Amino acid sequence: MNRRIPQGDQPALARFNQLNVTRFRSDINKAIGHSGTRNSYVAQATSFFSLIRNVAPTLTIASVIIRAAQRKMFSSTGGYQAAHYLPGQIEINNDFPWRFLPNPNARQRLESLFAGVEHLPPAFNKADSAAEDKGLRETFRAASEAILVYPSTGKGLINRSLVRRIYDDLWVPGASKAYGKAISQKSLVSEVPPLEHDSDGNITNSTERSTADWDRQDELEILGRYAEALRSTPPDLKDEKMTEIEASLRS
């Protein structure tokens, strides 16, 4: 049987298909990349916090809080936004964490992690904010605090097993839960109607779908890809990457 398109729906259906293809090719890859870099930055940040614990042993009783991002590498224009990788600014005893590091190079590297942003469509910042409100921000704070309560492994050395354990046992499940909660919340208010077909299998509501608010649907897809990126272990948890961070204290 030949498939037919209802009269008057050709432009709407073409637009609908074009939007889908564009999102599939660009936003999916960007979302996985953005989340993957976030995971790498978390691994690096907790490694630096392990060094901070070694050079400042009294921080076992420190106050560790998280605020909105304070630093930004650049600002975006042209309808895009600069989306931070890390979910917030950690403060230790009401001070920036890099100020606890004795070496300028190490301080700059850690500060750069918190300032790191990516030039992305607004849907990414909206997805980030939703996940942060649902526990991503608190998960990062808790992971940062957990590093500081463990004994030092020696001056200038990262407690590598601890960093890996905190990433696997705290960051990954916490971030996954936050993404899931954000997806559930946005799914409840999604305004994109499901596909409807006639007896011949043709889409009958392409006009409604093509003119619907796809922003929220984009955010749902982005959050799903964020969660997917948690399946890959960041290379920053390898010994050679942690050795590079340790070397920043001496360079």
Residues 119-169: tens digit of each pLDDT: 999 999 999 999 999 999 999 999 999 998 887 677 789 999 999 999 999
- Measured in degrees and rounded to the nearest 5, phi and psi for residue 242 equal -70, -30
Task: Establish if 2 belongs to a structural domain.
Answer: no
Which pTM does this prediction carry?
0.81
Chain centroid to Cα 35, Å, comes to: 4
Task: Establish if 152 belongs to a structural domain.
Answer: yes
Average per-residue pLDDT for the chain: 84
Greatest Cα pair distance in the chain: 76
Amino acid (1-letter code) at residue 217: Q
Residue 68 belongs to domain spanning: 19-247
pLDDT at position 163: 96
Task: Establish if 1 belongs to a structural domain.
Answer: no
**How wide is the angle at C-alpha 182 spanned by C-alphas 179 and 183, nearest 5°?**
85
pLDDT classification of 62: cutoffs 50, 70, 90:
confident
Cross-strand partners of 117: 84
Task: Establish if 160 belongs to a structural domain.
Answer: yes
Task: Establish if 12 belongs to a structural domain.
Answer: no
Task: Establish if 88 belongs to a structural domain.
Answer: yes
CB 223 within 8 A of CB 186: yes
pLDDT at position 17: 41
Task: Establish if 169 belongs to a structural domain.
Answer: yes
Overall domain count for the chain: 1
Task: Establish if 6 belongs to a structural domain.
Answer: no
pLDDT digit string, tens, across residues 74-95: 999 998 999 999 999 999 999 9
- What tokens does 2 get? 């030949």
